[in-house]
């Protein structure tokens, strides 16, 4: 089925409505989107993207800069309505409808005037839950997220890695079954990022979610994901799909294994093939 999904993208826009959704957790079907340039002409960004994620799968999305990865997340989150195509979550059409996913953007977007405990509680608060209840739940989970003892710190007193933990904890506590993580570790140094890779896997074990994760790093994609989608340059479609069947947990030692190197090379080949076509 996955090879069939990967091969799609040439159908007439709007044909997504003709077939019922699959039993997958989330399905993007024939997503097209265009913006307007300064002269009002259409600027195609997505040109028929098809993507499927199963329940509690970790799916990575890799693609060239400017290929529309963040636009795809905005469509998933209901912040944009695609020019054509449909978004399904649990077989329900949520195209253009916000409020169904938890979305962590590239920047942590912590509120400088709120201490850690109140930054973490923000998601549940916005969902209509009591602040006291949200704080109580957040405090109980601080050790799991490596934030015990930092509850009353303000963001200015935290390292980059700690800020990302706070932002990720806030995302998890939104209690959505689908998480969108847009390059959450891109601004961190290599050692901090490696530690967060292992930590994120542990958190996903304790709090099963379906996760879509944007990255420019093929190694990060293979280390974290069950499946990696590689996008073409803009206007983007799916260049290829690499299924990652490595056992978990995956650590820094996994990176040195032959199977890991093989899968990383498959992702790299797709990325470099796309880059070569630009030259």
Beta bridge partners of 104: 181
- To the nearest whole number, what is the mean pLDDT of the chain? 85
- pLDDT at residue 19, rounded to an integer: 63
- Which residues lie below 8 Å from residue 240, measured CB to CB, with a gap of 6+? 6, 229, 230, 270
Pairing of strands 58-62, 210-214: parallel
Residue 188, pLDDT > 90, answer no
Percent of the chain with pLDDT over 90: 46
Contact 210, 179 (CB under 8 A): yes
- pLDDT at residue 215, rounded to an integer: 93
Residue 226, pLDDT > 90, answer yes
- pLDDT confidence tier of residue 18, bands split at 50, 70 and 90: low
Indicate the domain borders of the chain: 2-101+176-276, 108-175
Comparing 2 with 150, the larger pLDDT belongs to 150
Q: Give helix 160-172 / helix 190-206 axis angle, nearest 10°.
A: 20
Contact 80, 74 (CB under 8 A): yes
- pLDDT confidence tier of residue 36, bands split at 50, 70 and 90: confident
Q: What is the pLDDT of residues 70-111, one digit of tens each?
A: 999 999 999 999 999 999 999 999 999 998 999 988 777 888
- pLDDT confidence tier of residue 43, bands split at 50, 70 and 90: confident
Name the CATH superfamily, with its identifier, for domain 2-101+176-276. Answer: P-loop containing nucleotide triphosphate hydrolases (3.40.50.300)
pTM for the whole structure:
0.85
Q: What is the pLDDT of residues 232-268, one digit of tens each?
A: 998 999 999 999 999 988 988 899 999 999 999 999 9
- pLDDT confidence tier of residue 11, bands split at 50, 70 and 90: very low
């Amino acid at each position: 089925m996955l090879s069939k999904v990967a091969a799609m993208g040439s159908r007439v826009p709007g044909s997504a409505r003709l077939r019922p959704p699959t039993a997958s957790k989330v399905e993007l079907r024939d997503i097209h989107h265009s913006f307007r340039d300064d002269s009002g002409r259409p600027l195609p960004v997505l040109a028929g993207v098809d993507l499927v994620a199963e329940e509690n799968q970790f799916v990575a999305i890799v693609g060239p800069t400017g290929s529309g990865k963040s636009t795809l997340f905005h469509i998933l989150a209901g912040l944009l309505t695609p020019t054509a195509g449909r978004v399904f979550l649990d077989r329900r059409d949520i195209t253009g409808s916000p409020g169904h996913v938890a979305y962590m953007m590239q920047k942590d977007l912590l509120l400088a005037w709120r201490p850690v405990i109140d930054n973490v509680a923000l998601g549940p608060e916005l969902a209509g839950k009591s602040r006291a209840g949200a704080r109580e739940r957040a405090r109980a989970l601080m050790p799991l997220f490596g934030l015990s003892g930092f509850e009353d710190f303000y963001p200015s007193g935290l390292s980059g890695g700690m800020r990302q933990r706070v932002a990720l904890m806030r995302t998890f506590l939104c209690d959505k079954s689908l998480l969108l993580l847009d390059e959450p570790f891109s601004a961190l140094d290599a050692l901090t990022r490696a530690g967060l890779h292992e930590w994120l896997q542990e958190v996903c074990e304790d709090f099963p979610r379906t996760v879509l994760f944007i990255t420019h790093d093929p190694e990060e994609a293979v280390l974290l994901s069950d499946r990696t989608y590689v996008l073409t340059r803009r206007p983007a479609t799916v260049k290829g799909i690499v299924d990652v069947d490595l056992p978990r947990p995956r650590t820094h030692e996994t990176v040195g294994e032959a199977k890991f190197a093989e899968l990383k090379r498959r992702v790299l080949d797709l990325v470099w093939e796309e880059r070569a076509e630009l030259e």
